[in-house]
Each structure stands twice: as C-alpha cells, then as structure tokens.
Amino acid sequence: MGAGGAASQRTQEARRQERLLREQWQAARRQALRWDTVGEGEQRVLAQLLVLTARGWRLLVDRRWSRTRTADAHMLLVGPGGVFVVDVTAGREPAEGHAPGLLAATKAAESAVASLGMSPVAVQPVRVFAGQRFDASLGRIRLLGEHEIGPVLLSQRHRLRAESVRAIADHLERVFPGYAGSAIDQQPVPAPEPHRPGSPDGLFDLEGLRDAALEGARRAPIEQWMTFLHPDQVALVRRNWSGPARISGPAGTGKTVVALHRAAHLARRTTGRILYVTFANNLPRVQSTFLKAMAPAVADRVDFRSLHSWAQEFLQDRGVPVRLHGDKAETAFSLAWKNVGRASRLAALDPAPTYWHEEIDYVIKGRGLTRFEEYAAVPRRRRRASLHRTHRRSVWELYEAYEALRGERGVHDFNDVLSLALAEASRRREGPPYAAVIVDEVQDLTLVGVRLLHALVGDVPNGLLLVGDGQQTVYPGGFRLTDAGIDIRGDRGQVLRTNYRNSKQILDAALTVVADDAFEDLDGLRTSGRRDVDLTYHDGDVVRVTRPTAEAHDRDLLDALRSLPEGARADTALLCPSMRAVGHYQRLLTQAGIPVCQLEHYDGRAVDAVKLGTYRRAKGLEFKNVFLPRHDTVSGHGTPAGTPAGTETSETARERAELLRSRLFVAMTRARDLLWLGSVTTR
Ligand SMILES: Nc1ncnc2c1ncn2[C@@H]1O[C@H](COP(=O)(O)OP(=O)(O)OP(=O)(O)O)[C@@H](O)[C@H]1O
C-alpha cells in the first residue's frame, strides 16, 4: 500500500473512532447522572471512565476496602493498561501529598492481585481533579485533570489481554465487594443516541481521547514478564527486608526480572532515588529500556549505571581528582614486570604476566589490601596457584613496583577509582540520596566495589539488594559477602530455582561444560557445577556443526544465519570468546551483507541486525537464537574451553581453563530456543 493510501485509511479510522466515542460519551453521561451523591464535575469524570468500559475496561465503584481501615478510594479500573486505583475530587491540585487513603487502597489492591502473579508495577494510584486540566505526579500518585484522565488511560501500553482484564476484575470484585446499592453498578454503556451537531460536550475532549485510543492500539503490548511473575517472585518484589538482602539462583531463573520489578516497586514506595548497578557498561542501557517500558512513571527515579562510570562521577561531584588512564597504567605494569617480575620466582609458576597482573587487580587492589601482612594471610578465593609466603613476597614486590611506576606517571587504574570512591563515601556520608541500591551480577564486582555500594546505604531496611550467581563468574578471583561486612541472614537470602529461559536441550549442553567445576558462591557455600534446576517446558535445539577447515565452518555459519526466518535477526546473537574473533566475524558478516549491531551499542530495543560481541559482553542478556562459532577453542591461548576440568597440568592453566568454561557457560545460557555450536577439527 502506498503512503497516500495508508494516510487516508488512518484518517478514516480516526473519523470512525471519533464518531464511536461521541456516541459512547453521550450514553455514559446519562448513566453517570445516576451517581447523584456527587457534584457535576465528578459525574463528568465518571462518564469519561464509563466510556472506557465500552473499550475493554472494567470499572468498580464504591468498594469496601475490607482489608484495611485506612484504605479509601472511589474506584478501581482494570483495563489493557493495568489496574488503576482512582480517587476523584472537586478540589485543586494539592501542593503536598496527603493521600494516605488512596495509597493504602493501592497497597490493598497490590496485595489482592499478587496472588494472581501480578507485579505491583501494574497497579497505579490516580487522583482525578474534576474541572481541572493538568498532568503531574506526586510521589507515586499520578495527578490528572478531568481532560487528561481518559486519554492517559487509553494511551497506556497494553499489558493485559481481555481475558486477564476479566479475571483480575472478577477477583478484585470478590476481594473488595461493592456497597449494596452502589449508585453505579457495572453494566454495559447503554445504546447511544444519534449525535446532534452543536450539542455541548463540556470539558470532554473527543480528539484527545480518539488520538489516545489510536496510540494505545498502535503501541505493541509490553512483554508478559513486565506484568506477571510467579507469585513467589512477586513476594520477593514486595518483601520488607530488615537489612541487606541477596537473591541468587542459576542462570535464567528470573533474578534480573525480580530486581527490575523491585527497583520500580521501591521507587514508588519512596521519594528517593534508586541506584541500579552492574559491572558491565552495556547492561544499564538495556535494563533502563526495560524499566521505561514496564514502569514509565518511576523510570526517571532509577539510575542505571555501570559501577566505574558511577564512581567516577561521584568523585567528580565531590571534587576528588581522578586521572583514570588504563593504557598508561598498563604500561606501568609491563615495566614493573620487566624490572621486577620476570626474573622472580613467579615466572616459574606462570611465565605469563597476565596471571600476576590479575593477582594485583583482583586479590590485592580488588580487596583493598595495603599491607603485605594482610596479603600474606588472605584466602585467595578461586585462585588456583598455591603461593607460599616467599611467592607472596614476590607478588608484593611486583605490586609495589607497579604502584611506584603508576604514581610516577600520575595516573589511576580502575581499582583506584573504586578505592578513592570508597574512601570518599566512608569519609563523608551525606548524599547522594539513594533510598536503595540494587546490584545486578554482583559476582563480577571486586570486594572494594561491593564495600563501596554497601557504604552508600549501609544496613538500612530495604537498602541494599545483591543479585547474582557465583557460577557465572567471568573474572578471576572472588570474595565472600562476609569479607565485605555484609551479613545476610534468614529470609534475606533467597534462591530462585526455576529456569524460565533455556530449553532443556540447551541447559543440558551448557551444564555439561561446567559439570565438573564445583564453585564457591558469595555466601561461601560450595556448590556442584551441575545444579538442580526446575525447567519450564519449552522446546529448543542445540545444533552442532563440525567442519575440517575454518572456511567451511564460517560458510556454514553464514548459511545458518541467512536461513533464519524473516525478522529473527532482531533476536539473534553471535558471541565470541575474544575481541579478535569479534573483529573477524564483524568483517565476515558485513561482507556477506548481514547487518550487525555490536553489543556495546545494543540498548534492548529491537533492531534488525545480528548482535555481535564477546561472551563477557553478553552477561545478563538473552536471545532467541545464539551462535557460538568455534566455541571449543579460545584464540590467543590455544586452551580448549570446552574440555572437562582436570586435563590441564599447571595450576594456573587449570584456573584459566575453568574461567573460560564459565564464560562459555554464560554464553550458552543466553540462548532461549536455538544454540548453534560451531567447531573446527582437522582430524
Ligand atoms: N515468572 C516468569 N514467567 C515467565 N518467564 C519468566 C518469569 N520470570 C522470568 N522469566 C523470564 O526468564 C528469562 C530469564 O530471566 P532473567 O534474565 O531475569 O534471569 P536471570 O536469573 O537474571 O538470568 P542470568 O543469571 O542468566 O542472567 C527472561 O526471559 C524472563 O523474561
């Protein structure tokens, strides 16, 4: 269809909508007149809401808020846009919030729908001001004028299907029965009278309603998980925790989903800001996109940040000078290795300077150690090389040489940024005013990083929530939460066990890779690599392709990508173990005319391009189709990533292979329905 044809069809649809609305409005006006206990303004508001009932909404007026005495609101509205607890007033917009009755009614409604698995993000309090025009928010309450209420509700993104609207409204009707003899009973809007030109519509804005109805229909419905969760997950979202809490669980068990709903829930319950932090740079963009879709009203009070970018900004705001310079710091380490490390006993344990650089990054600086005696005694979690005191002395000398050379150059490394921020946060406890801090993928952080985030909120109730899974550690080293002074007790430590993402075939393939890698989680518990997980049934495929040459392998990969159904690229990722491999596949796909979107630039919105990035960059994400070319070799090391534990000889090589298997496991568990595993074997 040409653009002109589409435009004229839109105009026709708009006219039809307007005619229909006018008829529905007049019928609703007559029905609202029966609500004779209120003034004319309130009747007009009611009439507008009755119009919605002709468009798939259910209106429950004059409820008995049986569960709580303080609850008080005029009506409940349930429709495609969610559940709205509505209060109508003839007054003006209040300067300060004094709506405890409305908030208590909202809480009661949230509790009532929680048993159906509905998240509190889908329940919203609204106060409508008869005879007024405005659109504002006061805390979590949306304040709307008589003109705005209809259009705002109609243009909400659709989150409930017709059958859910029915089921939820029926349930709410049972939980909060109407007073006998309510002035307005739920009944269909009566048949309309023909429109008489020039008849007054009062403040009713037909055009606004018409546009909103069209807008609501045009915008795609939001994902199911943005409204409905398992009732156990909803309970976690709404829980009151007396101090820091932790949610753990294997890959794909809904940890991030719960964390996002909780962020929205906390943002509504407080007037402060919520900080939602991850280690990776790309995840905050994606998570922010999701939150904006599921809880737009509070999205601007949740700061999605990567830890280092947040810490740098925090230091800048506090006037603390930082000179982060990764390359110069790297050069300082190379020199230190040349001057001090290479000839030391460390080279005999592992001649690759990387291992010792990691020792400094993750064990010494990552844990904030400043004295040799501390380092000499520290348990080096997840580090395989057994270091005697003399070895540790050599590492410490290397560390001191590095620090001296770094200092000479006047630069900081990434660990320094976090240590400076921790010192600053501990020194001055004023601001930033976070009501809560949520840390996703907490296992990726260093001990100093976790201490820093803890310092922002301390142990206040509902202040700190740590979300993560030790099995998905993709960086060396590790720590226990108790090392950070965080005490998670009783019901403040929760484990999710149902995998909602991966098909059984995919999860089995992924678990095989790490089956022999028992790991220690952040709570210090040793856990087997092959964990028990409940699966939600859905079908999926693992496709294994083995070819004798890299060229034949890549040809098969391109064929498989080309044969994806129309539109599937938007939900497809190609993941690689190294940046070098990413470069190779970027060129290959581009030459083949397959559009590519680097994971660095992906923000969670659908784009018709294959997402391309490293295994590490894919942390926390998921895709319908995941392609892992040459998944069983890792360029640069020549170390097989898919081989079982124990086949490597040196301790450091075993540790490296284990970490590579963890990364591969993370990459494999990103796949929902299709996992393509490519290999090249010359035999
Ligand atoms: N109650 C639920 N019903 C249906 N799907 C759900 C439910 N909870 C979560 N999901 C879906 O499960 C998938 C995994 O969720 P999520 O990304 O939150 O898991 P995760 O535990 O954070 O995973 P990972 O640790 O692997 O990053 C998502 O597609 C999410 O929409």
Helix, strand, coil percentages in the chain from 3-state DSSP, rounded to 5 = 45, 15, 40
Instruction: Pick the atom of ligand 1 nearest to 251's CA.
Output: 26
**To which residue do tokens 């508001």 refer?**
45
Question: ∠68-71-75 over CA atoms, to 5°?
Answer: 125
Using 50 as the pLDDT threshold, list the residues of the chain that sit under it: 1-3, 96, 183, 185-203, 635-648
How far is residue 91's CA from residue 84's CA, in Å, rounded to a whole number?
20
Instruction: Pick the atom of ligand 1 nearest to 257's CA.
Output: 18
**To which residue do tokens 């649809």 refer?**
13
Ligand 1 binding pocket includes 230 (Cβ within 6 Å): yes
Residue 252 among known ligand-binding residues: yes
What is the value of pTM for the model shown? 0.88
Output the pLDDT for position 84: 96
| Other CB atoms within 10 A of residue 443 CB | 25
Ligand 1 binding pocket includes 255 (Cβ within 6 Å): yes
State which of 164, 226, 256 you would mutate to test the pocket of ligand 1, scoring each by most atoms of that ligand within 8 A of its C-beta: 256
Output the pLDDT for position 447: 95
Residue 510 among known ligand-binding residues: no
State which of 495, 500, 624, 665 you would mutate to test the pocket of ligand 1, scoring each by most atoms of that ligand within 8 A of its C-beta: 500
The H or E element spanning position 2 is none
How far is residue 183's CA from residue 61's CA, in Å, rounded to a whole number?
8
List the residue whose alpha carbon is closest to atom 14 of ligand 1: 252
Instruction: Pick the atom of ligand 1 nearest to 496's CA.
Output: 21
How far is residue 112's CA from residue 107's CA, in Å, rounded to a whole number?
9
How far is residue 650's CA from residue 643's CA, in Å, rounded to a whole number?
15
Considering just the CA atoms, what is the radius of gyration of the chain in Å? 29
DSSP per-residue codes, 508-554: HHHHHHHTT--EE-TTS-EE-SS---EE-----EEEEEEESSHHHHH
| Distance from Cα 56 to the centre of ligand 1, integer Å | 30
Q: Report residue 324 as tokens.
A: 């982060």
Ligand 1 binding pocket includes 468 (Cβ within 6 Å): no
β pairing state of 610-614 and 572-576: parallel
Reported as a single tens digit per residue, the pLDDT across 524-575 is: 888 888 888 888 867 899 999 999 999 999 999 999 999 999 899 999 999 9
How far is residue 305's CA from residue 278's CA, in Å, rounded to a whole number?
7
Characterize 582-618 residue by residue with b for buried, 16 or more Cβ atoms within 10 angstroms of its Cβ, and e for exposed.
Answer: bebbbebbeeeebebbebeebebeeeebbbbbbbbbb
Residues 409 and 328: beta-carbon distance below 8 Å: yes
Ligand 1 binding pocket includes 623 (Cβ within 6 Å): no
3-state secondary structure 275-320: EEEECCCCHHHHHHHHHHHHCCCCHHHEEEEEHHHHHHHHHHHCCC
Q: Report residue 580 as tokens.
A: 């070098």
Instruction: Pick the atom of ligand 1 nearest to 467's CA.
Output: 22
Residues 65 and 38: beta-carbon distance below 8 Å: no
| Distance from Cα 670 to the centre of ligand 1, integer Å | 11
List the residue whose alpha carbon is closest to atom 1 of ligand 1: 229
Residues 407 and 435: beta-carbon distance below 8 Å: no
State which of 253, 279, 441 you would mutate to test the pocket of ligand 1, scoring each by most atoms of that ligand within 8 A of its C-beta: 253
Residues 462 and 503: beta-carbon distance below 8 Å: no
List the residue whose alpha carbon is closest to atom 25 of ligand 1: 251
| Distance from Cα 1 to the centre of ligand 1, integer Å | 39
Q: Residue 435: which region, alpha, beta or left (left: phi > 0; alpha: psi -120 to 50)? A: alpha
Beta bridge mates, 675: 542, 626
How far is residue 28's CA from residue 43's CA, in Å, rounded to a whole number?
10
Q: Is the ipTM of this complex over 0.90?
A: yes
For residue 467, give Cα distances in angstroms to 32, 295, 366, 441: 49, 20, 19, 6
> Is residue 445 classed as helix, strand or coil in its secondary structure?
coil
Output the pLDDT for position 233: 94
How far is residue 330's CA from residue 308's CA, in Å, rounded to a whole number?
17
Residues 294 and 121: beta-carbon distance below 8 Å: yes
**To which residue do tokens 């298997």 refer?**
661
| DSSP state letter for 118 | B
How many Cα atoms are found within 13 Å in the side-chain-facing hemisphere of 485? 10
Q: Which of 675, 573, 571 is nearest to 618 (CA)?
A: 573
Ligand 1 binding pocket includes 342 (Cβ within 6 Å): no
DSSP per-residue codes, 123-147: EEEEEEETT---EEEETTEEEEEHH
- Tell me which fold the domain 236-320+431-500 belongs to: Rossmann fold (3.40.50)
How many Cα atoms are found within 13 Å in the side-chain-facing hemisphere of 451? 23
* Sign, Cα dihedral of 162, 163, 164, 167: positive
How far is residue 368's CA from residue 100's CA, in Å, rounded to a whole number?
46
Ligand 1 binding pocket includes 344 (Cβ within 6 Å): no
> Is residue 650 classed as helix, strand or coil in its secondary structure?
coil
How far is residue 574's CA from residue 618's CA, in Å, rounded to a whole number?
10
| Distance from Cα 581 to the centre of ligand 1, integer Å | 28
Q: How many separate helices (H) and strands (E) can be counted in the chain?
A: 21, 22
**To which residue do tokens 């965080």 refer?**
486
List the residue whose alpha carbon is closest to atom 11 of ligand 1: 500
Output the pLDDT for position 645: 42
Output the pLDDT for position 186: 46
Q: Which of 266, 267, 261 is nearest to 300 (CA)?
A: 267
Beta bridge mates, 12: none
Residue 251 among known ligand-binding residues: yes
Ligand 1 binding pocket includes 241 (Cβ within 6 Å): no
Burial class (CB in 10 A: 0-12, 13-18, 19+), 268: buried
| Distance from Cα 488 to the centre of ligand 1, integer Å | 23
| Distance from Cα 227 to the centre of ligand 1, integer Å | 13
Instruction: Pick the atom of ligand 1 nearest to 468's CA.
Output: 25
How far is residue 573's CA from residue 113's CA, in Å, rounded to a whole number?
36
Output the pLDDT for position 646: 39
In total, the chain counts a number of residues equal to: 683
Helix locations, 181-254, DSSP H: 206-218, 231-238
| Distance from Cα 306 to the centre of ligand 1, integer Å | 21
- Does domain 519-680 fall under CATH 3.40.50.2000? My reply is no
Ligand 1 binding pocket includes 473 (Cβ within 6 Å): no
For residue 666, give Cα distances in angstroms to 138, 536, 586, 639: 42, 19, 21, 18
Ligand 1 binding pocket includes 225 (Cβ within 6 Å): yes
Residue 256 among known ligand-binding residues: yes
